[in-house]
């Protein structure tokens, strides 16, 4: 008990009470397939269309193994998320799980770092969306003036207009309601899966087995380097857990949504890698920003290459939508706990969404995407996500030891093996990031601690209850 007070741990029962005591409730409308679709929408983004060529240049045809290894790393964290989601069906994802196991300050830091994954990362995705959109227009002999594409180009760039517009549209859609957003995501998931399956089917007719030789040209170290790259094509499944208060029977459906989406995406990624490296020699893929479309043009399928570029836009749009689902719900959970102003936690009576937090997230994403070149800080997204993953893996072991009697509708298998492996994978991947990323990460943590002690520590709901007691 003293340990709990020192760390400001929030008991499981109190986490559930905080939802019931909140002034507004989200609408429970999402079933298992809607959750799986949200997971696929967030995972299959621009990564499969952009990273495959670069990863293949390092791993060769062995990129298929790279995808499997990266999927295993995500699966370890995914199992941990699934167990937590079945125990604590409350919006907030890793932030909420850390509150129950590692204490208030660590929970704040997790929430602070999730801002990197969902907001900073989404700004980068929105910026790339503008580029994909312009590439698609090129097939129709139309180009957006360079000054409205935002990237430094010597043309007096003003604003990334496509990025700004897509973020505003998505923000409006999310404010309308989770059911409407889920339906839009379902349509985009169907379209992008159809295009990817079309790529696999048509591309398979042009596969030359000789291109798979040698299978691992740079040895297993090349396969592991490829895994480090494609790992980030799997990030996004954790966003499913932020919808805990909007799904039916969360203890049963959340684990299914997380694990089904990971499994489906792994199979799709491996199949795409097989076709990509079979259609063209891996040495020709490293410098291509849009390798899937490029491969089709090399086989004289120029018209179909435009379809692939359209698929990249749909995939990126779906990823933008799901990431922007996650961040407002984390803001809302932090607001309920007193770590942010009550303004962040207000739920729209008409639409049943965290309206204030949704519009704020839209601004946080739109302004950098429209006005700044943020490519240099994108790796902060990666390290922030790995930080959250590792703490969730740590937290599930702590809760197994401290609360073995707690109800778990999903229990991750071999917890004392899989959870440590999840932590080790996160450390290994983070170790490969540049030193400047680590410096920026520590600066971000210090800024987060400053905000916590200036506002969150004194205004915490947990602190107020204990003061009254």
| pLDDT tens for the 469 residues of the chain, in order | 444 454 566 665 565 555 545 555 666 778 888 888 888 888 887 667 767 877 888 888 999 888 888 888 888 888 898 888 888 877 778 888 888 888 888 899 999 988 887 887 788 788 778 777 877 787 778 877 777 766 544 445 578 888 889 999 999 988 888 778 888 888 998 998 998 899 899 998 999 999 998 889 888 888 888 887 787 778 778 878 878 777 888 888 888 888 899 899 889 988 988 998 999 888 887 776 678 888 888 888 877 878 888 888 888 888 888 888 888 888 988 998 889 998 998 888 877 788 899 999 999 888 888 877 665 566 677 788 888 889 999 999 998 988 888 888 888 889 999 999 999 988 888 887 788 888 989 999 999 999 999 998 888 877 655 555 4
Predicted local confidence at residue 378, as pLDDT: 66
Each residue's pLDDT tens digit, 341-374: 989 988 888 777 888 999 999 998 888 888 776 6
Tokens at 315, concatenated: 């995939």
Distance CA 237, CA 392 (A): 14
153 exposure class (CB count in 10 Å sphere: 0-12, 13-18, 19+): exposed
Neighbours of 202 (CB within 10 A): 17
Tokens at 118, concatenated: 């969902």
Query: In whole angstroms, how large is the CA radius of gyration of the chain?
Result: 22
What contacts 24+ positions apart, CB below 8 Å, involve 288-292? 288/53, 289/50, 289/131, 290/49, 290/50, 290/132, 290/135, 291/49, 291/50, 291/52, 291/53, 291/56, 292/48, 292/49, 292/52, 292/199
Predicted local confidence at residue 373, as pLDDT: 64
Phi, psi of 247 (to 5 degrees): -115, 150
Query: In terms of Cα–Cα distance, which of 312, 384, 316, 329 is closest to 120?
Result: 384
Helices 415-431 and 63-87 cross at an angle (nearest 10°) of 130
* Cα distance between the two ends of the chain: 15
Residue 352 is classified by DSSP as: -
Predicted local confidence at residue 17, as pLDDT: 57
What contacts 24+ positions apart, CB below 8 Å, involve 95-99? 95/330, 95/333, 95/334, 96/15, 96/333, 97/392, 97/395, 97/396, 98/391, 98/392, 98/395, 99/9, 99/10, 99/15, 99/337
Helices 32-43 and 250-279 cross at an angle (nearest 10°) of 40
Tokens at 461, concatenated: 């709901």
Residues 6+ apart with CB under 8 A from 116: 380, 381, 383, 384, 385, 444
Query: In terms of Cα–Cα distance, which of 1, 48, 8, 25 is closest to 233?
Result: 48
Instruction: Check whether the bond before 390 is cis (ω within 30° of 0).
Output: no
Predicted local confidence at residue 168, as pLDDT: 92
Distance CA 441, CA 206 (A): 45
Q: 419 with 412: CB under 8 angstroms?
A: yes
Element (H, E) at 277: helix 250-279
Distance CA 116, CA 237 (A): 16
Count of alpha carbons within 13 angstroms of residue 188, beta-carbon side: 28
Distance CA 427, CA 319 (A): 25
Q: What residues pair up with 5 in beta bridges, in sequence order? A: none
3-class DSSP assignment, residue 102 = coil
Phi, psi of 203 (to 5 degrees): -65, -30
Distance CA 338, CA 73 (A): 34
Query: In terms of Cα–Cα distance, which of 419, 322, 255, 336 is closest to 91?
Result: 336
Distance CA 234, CA 244 (A): 20
User: Which residue has tokens 């002690």?
Assistant: 453
Residues 6+ apart with CB under 8 A from 128: 46, 50, 316
Q: 312 with 51: CB under 8 angstroms?
A: no
259 exposure class (CB count in 10 Å sphere: 0-12, 13-18, 19+): buried
Query: In terms of Cα–Cα distance, which of 384, 385, 324, 399 is closest to 15?
Result: 399
The phi-psi region of residue 177 (left if phi > 0; otherwise alpha if psi is between -120 and 50; otherwise beta) is left
């Amino acid at each position: 008990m003293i340990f709990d007070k020192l760390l400001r741990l929030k008991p499981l029962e109190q986490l559930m009470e905080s939802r019931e005591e909140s002034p507004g409730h989200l609408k429970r409308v999402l079933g298992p397939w809607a959750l799986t679709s949200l997971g696929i929408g967030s995972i299959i983004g621009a990564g499969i269309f952009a990273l495959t060529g670069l990863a293949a240049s390092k791993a060769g045809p062995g990129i298929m193994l790279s995808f499997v290894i990266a999927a295993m790393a995500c699966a370890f964290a995914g199992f941990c998320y699934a167990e937590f989601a079945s125990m604590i069906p409350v919006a907030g994802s890793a932030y909420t799980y850390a509150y129950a196991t590692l204490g208030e300050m660590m929970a704040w830091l997790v929430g602070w770092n999730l801002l990197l994954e969902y907001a900073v990362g989404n700004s980068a995705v929105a910026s790339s969306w503008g580029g994909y959109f312009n590439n698609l227009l090129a097939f129709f002999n139309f180009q957006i003036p360079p000054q409205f594409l935002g990237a430094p180009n010597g043309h007096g760039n003003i604003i990334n207009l496509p990025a700004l517009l897509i973020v505003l549209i998505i923000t409006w859609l999310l404010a309308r309601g989770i059911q409407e957003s889920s339906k839009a995501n379902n349509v985009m998931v169907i379209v992008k899966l159809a295009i990817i399956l079309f790529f696999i089917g048509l591309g398979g007719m042009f596969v030359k087995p000789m291109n798979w030789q040698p299978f691992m040209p740079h040895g297993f170290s090349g396969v592991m380097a490829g895994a480090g790259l494609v790992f980030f094509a799997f990030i996004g499944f954790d966003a499913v857990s932020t919808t805990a208060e909007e799904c039916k029977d969360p203890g049963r459906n959340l684990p299914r949504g997380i694990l089904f989406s990971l499994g489906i995406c792994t199979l799709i990624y491996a199949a795409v890698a097989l076709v990509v490296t079979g259609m063209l020699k891996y040495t020709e893929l490293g410098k291509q920003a849009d390798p899937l479309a490029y491969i089709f043009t090399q086989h004289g399928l120029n018209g179909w290459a435009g379809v692939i570029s359209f698929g990249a836009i749909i995939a990126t749009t779906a990823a933008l939508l799901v990431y922007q689902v996650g961040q407002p719900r984390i803001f809302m959970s932090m607001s309920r706990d007193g770590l942010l102003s009550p303004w962040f936690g207000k739920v729209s009576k008409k639409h049943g969404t965290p309206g204030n937090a949704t519009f704020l997230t839209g601004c946080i994403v739109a302004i950098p995407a429209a006005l700044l070149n943020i490519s240099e800080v994108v790796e902060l997204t990666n390290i922030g996500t790995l930080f959250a993953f590792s703490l969730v893996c740590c937290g599930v072991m702590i809760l197994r030891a401290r609360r073995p009697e707690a109800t778990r509708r999903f229990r991750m298998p071999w917890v004392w093996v899989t959870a440590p492996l999840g932590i080790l994978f996160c450390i290994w991947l983070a170790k490969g990031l540049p030193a400047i990323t680590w410096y920026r990460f520590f600066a971000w943590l210090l800024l987060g601690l400053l905000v916590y002690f200036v506002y969150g520590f004194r205004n915490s709901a947990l602190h107020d209850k204990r003061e009254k007691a």
